[in-house]
Amino acid sequence: MGRANRRLTRAARYGRYAGGPDPLAPPVDLAEALDAIGEDVMAGYSPERAMREFLRRGGTDRAGLDDLARRVAERRRELTRRHNLDGTLEEVRELLQKAVTAERAQLARDVDLDDGDRMLAEMQLENLPASTPAAVSELGDYDWRSGEARADFEKIKDLLGREMLDQRFAGMKKALENATDTDRAAINEMLRDLNDLLAAHESGDDTPDQFDEFMDKHGDFFPENPANIDELLDALAQRAAAAARMRNSMTQEQRDELDALAGQAFGSPELMQSLAQLDGHLQALRPGEDWGGSERMEGGEGLGLGDGTGVFQDLADLDELSEQLTQSYSGSSMDDLDLDKLTRQLGDVAAADARTLQQLDAALRDPGTMKRGSDGALRLTPKAMRQLGKALLRDVAARMSGRQGNRDVATAGAAGEFSGATREWAFGDTEPWDVTRTITNAIARTAGEGSGTAAGIRLEIGDVEVQETEARTRACVALLVDTSFSMAIDGRWVPMKRTALALHTLITSRFRGDDLQLIAFGRVAEVMEIEHLTGLDAEYEKGTNLHHALMLANRHFRRHPTAQPVLLIVTDGEPTSHLEAGGDVFFSYPPHPVTVALAVRELDNSMRLGAHTTFFRLGEDPGLARFVDSLATRVGGSVVAPELDDLGAAVVGSYLGSRRRDGGVSA
């Protein structure tokens, strides 16, 4: 092959698409990931940690980093427990025994042989040294009578030569079966030229032309087709370092036997001299490789020198993959995962799982899903919060769908007066199309694609927009959520946040004319945005200030005098704190009569403003049950005592029921 053809071949190599994300791949589904991440964030994890935890766990039908790491560890254990390093020595022993047995049989059959010569030969075979290398050396000049025995003995030299080469050049053992003297001479010439090239590179005197000349002459020995000397060095050094680790892992007796046999390789010491020189160049040029490591190999399956070196390369790959999968080192990134090595070690399915995790990581880190705040920490974007809220709302809808008389959340607000707004059509929508917006979208898309409109306009699903409608009664909603420490320690913290996010999503997506205010109350009360509430950490702070929370709710109701007030209170305890006239917080447990009286007064004010009140009592405390029941009776409200899993459905159902009672659209 000429140099120009070789360069053309190297330039035209094919591989996986590496120009960024696969343009033909389907988009990665973030729904499950966002749901899991949102759950962890609401439990107190940072978004960064929650994302990493999801990538470690994986999804319902997708392996995570931990599962891949487990499989890597299992593969490593399998390799070390299955094999031992005595394969080549055992094969030499078997060939030696076979040759000696065949020679003895020939001596017994050869009636024309002089008795003295027969006796001398039999004595030499009988008194061979116990050491395999010594026996092979002693028989080096033996005059074999059996052609079969001579052939088996020559196989020892051939085997040793092929194994020694296979340690440095993968596949050489098989390629050199039945090698001729010409083949061996070509190998020795390649090794001389390779050592000359590496020596020149080590001194800085090599040129690209020298590398090309070497590959033109000896390229058949390098099927990986390196493009330059660095690629050649990397491949050779990794293999040679694995061979060194294999030697380090042998017993001293095994090393001594192999050293004694090495001179018999191909019947020429020149091979070992060239290989020793090659190892020296590689260690000098790639000192960062692991030349000193070792492994404990005590299995029952013997490894030859070449196959054993391959196993040690596999172990090195597995160690590297294990580190990549931990993602615990400084500057770690999902892009560090070597998918080619993962494919070689665990197969295509594992590599596909890892590629999906990389795509998930990239999609989650997209500015539309997460963004970094001024402190450098990742935060969920409003878009991500909406996606998470939709998932929670679907769960609420599923829980409500089987209940008699409950309204379907998916179609809430679909009937009634037109709001003037439009939105993209979604499966299941029954609202009328906004024809003007739909046709405009189709024209804009057609123009963007460079197509003319002479042949007419072709509508696509993405062009369709429907007219938004809203319920005829506008509501002013206050959701009061207890954030005292008991909510956290009794496992109610995350269900409370999920409930708030589901209601927030329903109102902002389907009842946009309604006005929702989220009020968290612990020792004091505070109006919170949904992003703040979902990320709120639990704090050990005594106090359940229902008085302050109701004051904020009533202020919200007064700001919307034409709307129907809806008051929803989620709590697991009686009020134990209130605001005093000067703004200080008073706390007392058991509840002080003044604290209770102030809370009742503000609840009466809510009733005078026309609020429909629902208490959501969490827990089985009889005292709380009696207290909440009396409050609800006083203001004509109701009490719901849901299981934690049903809290979201209960709150959303109560909100929808309050709107129906005031002339809103029925389901």
- H or E element at residue 232: helix 229-249
* CA–CA separation, 400 and 642 (whole Å): 13
CA nearest 595: which of 570, 577, 619?
577
- Cβ distance 506 to 648 under 8 Å? no
Classify 474-661 by CATH class. alpha beta
pLDDT along the chain (667 residues), means of 10: 48 53 60 79 76 87 90 94 90 94 90 83 90 89 92 89 88 81 88 94 93 93 90 94 93 89 74 90 94 90 90 94 90 91 93 89 80 70 75 74 45 51 72 85 78 70 78 82 90 89 87 92 94 83 93 96 94 94 92 95 96 93 92 94 89 82 44
Burial 130-145 (b: 16+ CB within 10 A, else e): eebbebbeebeebebb
Reading the block at residue 590, the tokens are 């058991």
* CA–CA separation, 226 and 222 (whole Å): 8
Pairing of strands 564-571, 417-424: unpaired
* CA–CA separation, 579 and 545 (whole Å): 8
pLDDT at 410: 42
* CA–CA separation, 132 and 50 (whole Å): 61
* CA–CA separation, 12 and 10 (whole Å): 6
CA angle 400–405–410, rounded 5-degree value? 45
pLDDT at 48: 80
- Cβ distance 250 to 303 under 8 Å? no
The alpha carbons of the chain give a radius of gyration, in whole angstroms, of 40
Contacts of 535 (CB under 8 A, 6+ apart): 41, 42, 379
Contacts of 547 (CB under 8 A, 6+ apart): 575, 577, 578, 579, 595, 598, 599, 602
Type of residue found at 301: E
* CA–CA separation, 609 and 60 (whole Å): 48
62 strand-pairing partners = 59
* CA–CA separation, 157 and 163 (whole Å): 10
Reading the block at residue 198, the tokens are 């590496």
* CA–CA separation, 179 and 186 (whole Å): 11
- Cβ distance 543 to 573 under 8 Å? no
The owner of tokens 């599923």 is: 398
CA nearest 104: which of 119, 122, 128?
122
Question: Around Cβ 195, how many Cβ atoms within 10 Å?
Answer: 17
Pairing of strands 525-528, 301-302: unpaired
Angle between helices 348-364 and 31-42 (to 10 degrees): 60
Coil, strand, or helix at residue 222?
Answer: coil
* CA–CA separation, 142 and 149 (whole Å): 11
Type of residue found at 41: V
* CA–CA separation, 569 and 571 (whole Å): 6
CA angle 451–454–460, rounded 5-degree value? 55
Domain with CATH 3.40.50.410 in the chain: 474-661
Identify the DSSP state of 463: G
Contacts of 330 (CB under 8 A, 6+ apart): none
- Cβ distance 413 to 434 under 8 Å? no
* CA–CA separation, 641 and 570 (whole Å): 10
The owner of tokens 């919200």 is: 556
Dihedral of CA atoms 443, 446, 451, 456 in degrees, nearest 10, equals -50
- Cβ distance 545 to 585 under 8 Å? yes
Predicted TM-score of the model (pTM): 0.66
pLDDT at 454: 59
CA angle 615–621–624, rounded 5-degree value? 45
- H or E element at residue 608: helix 593-608
- Cβ distance 658 to 411 under 8 Å? no
Within 13 A of 338's CA, how many CA atoms are on the CB side?
16
Contacts of 632 (CB under 8 A, 6+ apart): 613, 614, 615, 638, 639
* CA–CA separation, 30 and 36 (whole Å): 10
Within 13 A of 185's CA, how many CA atoms are on the CB side?
3
Q: What are the φ/ψ torsions at residue 156 (nearest 5 degrees)? A: -65, -50
- Cβ distance 481 to 570 under 8 Å? yes
Burial 428-438 (b: 16+ CB within 10 A, else e): eeebebbeebb
Coil, strand, or helix at residue 302?
Answer: strand
Contacts of 606 (CB under 8 A, 6+ apart): 550, 553, 554, 557, 565, 567, 613, 635
pLDDT at 249: 93
pLDDT at 473: 67
Coil, strand, or helix at residue 638?
Answer: strand
Sign of CA dihedral 128, 133, 136, 138: negative
Type of residue found at 135: A
Type of residue found at 491: G
